[in-house]
């Protein structure tokens, strides 16, 4: 029986992908590297270490990861101000989960600084969730199951009692490997790419009651 819902953030609650890519591109420009938006796509959902580090590796440069992440977040915070909004159905879906008495956790591969910026911009208090786990809290990032195992444990639930809500292939694999059922939205990847999920919809507006009543 479902008792908890474990939410990814980017691509599920808010779509900040274009902004973090733009911020990272601007940061790389300062290093003399002309990165492109498509360079980042293979690393979506894997956390900023891989997101930025993977592109640095592609271009054959060595970076001070904490420093370049800090600069990227600084730029990110500037360009998203008053420009980020909750994705269609996200806040309503959270209300549905709350009204059903389901425990909720946020399980994002992003670092906490980005997580707080995103939640602030869409007007979603961190206290909405019974537990928050970020990419800083786990060693093995998605697609490893660690973050969703940690999230379910923090809620006092078994993974098989939890629904993972994701938009990324790596996140679905993480949730399924943890033993959770998975709901995917096609914000970032196609239906075919997200085929491992138990349910797939274009937005959280479309999710029927059966997804929250097993």
User: Which residues are identified as catalytic?
Assistant: 8, 10
Beta bridge partners of 165: 7, 183
Distance of CA 177 to the CA centre of its chain: 17
Other CB atoms within 10 A of residue 96 CB: 17
Strand order in the sheet with 131-133: 131-133, 103-107, 4-7, 162-166, 181-185, 199-201
**Distance of alpha carbon 95 from alpha carbon 128, whole angstroms:** 10
**Distance of alpha carbon 50 from alpha carbon 193, whole angstroms:** 20
**Distance of alpha carbon 33 from alpha carbon 124, whole angstroms:** 35
């Amino acid at each position: 029986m479902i008792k908890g819902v474990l939410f990814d953030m980017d691509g599920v609650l808010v779509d900040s992908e274009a902004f973090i890519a733009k911020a990272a591109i601007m940061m790389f420009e300062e290093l003399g590297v002309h990165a492109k938006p498509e360079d980042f796509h293979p690393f979506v959902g894997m956390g900023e270490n891989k997101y930025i580090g993977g592109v640095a590796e592609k271009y054959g440069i060595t970076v001070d990861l904490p420093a370049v992440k800090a600069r990227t977040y600084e730029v990110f915070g500037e360009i998203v101000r008053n420009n980020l909004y909750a994705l269609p159905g996200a806040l309503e879906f959270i209300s549905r989960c709350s009204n059903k008495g389901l425990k909720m956790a946020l399980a994002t591969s992003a670092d906490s600084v980005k997580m707080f910026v995103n939640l602030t911009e869409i007007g979603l208090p961190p206290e909405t969730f019974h537990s928050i786990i970020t990419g800083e809290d786990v060693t093995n990032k998605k697609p490893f199951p660690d973050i969703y195992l940690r999230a379910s444990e923090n809620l006092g639930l078994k993974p098989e009692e939890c629904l993972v809500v994701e938009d990324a292939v790596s996140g679905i694999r993480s949730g399924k490997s943890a033993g959770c059922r998975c709901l995917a939205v096609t914000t970032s990847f196609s239906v075919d790419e997200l085929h491992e999920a138990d349910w797939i919809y274009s937005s959280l507006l479309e999710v029927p009651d059966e997804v929250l009543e097993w």
